[in-house]
Structure 1
Amino acid sequence: MLVGKELLDKARSLSKCSEDEIARGCGYVGPSGRVLRKSYYRALVQAKGYKLRSNGPGRPGNRSSRGRQAEFKTKVHGNGNLLIGHAYTKKMGLEPGQEFRIDVRRDSGAICLLPLGGKKLEINN
């Protein structure tokens, strides 16, 4: 990710492109390929010489400075997929590439993930 004068120069050279293309060209892309707009705009403002507070408006630790909070609910998407968010996979200590067998308990309606490959799943509270 470019910063400072390099960021300004590259953004200027891509000025005929869309905002997302400029951010991509400056390296502001996450591991999933999503454009990191907020990080790009913050870096751009800092490169122009403005100082930004790290916690945003309000007191440190208030809800507005913590970002989006995880909720203990989800829904089935229109394509039939059920998503378990990053907050929960992180809390459970799951890693990319880890494999599970899905066990559906019809009597209780529970869905269980059973680790494959002998690695025991331990939940980190």
Structure 2
Amino acid sequence: MNARAILFAVASAVTTVLLAGAATIELLSAVYGESPGVGMLGLVVGLVVGVSVGAGVAVTAGRFSGISLAALVAYATFGVAFLAIAGLRYVNAPGADALFTFPVHLAVSLLLALAFAVLTARGLVRGVRPSV
């Protein structure tokens, strides 16, 4: 296991925590309504699934190549970009709240993920090499 595998594992875990937690909260809110317990359960589910995915990626990151590597880079980039933009909004960076409405926030995160995936597939991201 090298630094690249650990970086992919952490970034993939972040993405999974966000997605699994949000999905759990939405599903439980539809059944039980809005309550603090639903949010806490969503967070716990997200953390458990995220740690599991991160461990799996850490063990298998060296085996990814080509399109699967580009997909892993896209998945990992999405969560990190989404969290970074949320951080900008949280610290009240000037203009961030007005610029990054939720649809824009989501679109920018997806576009960054797509851009890094394309760059990885073409071999243009330093330190991440597609298979030969």
TM-score after normalising by structure 1: 0.25
- Decide which structure has the larger Cα Rg and report it: 1
Q: Which has the higher strand share?
A: 1
Query: Relative contact order (alpha carbons < 8 A, sep ≥ 6): 1 or 2 greater?
Result: 2
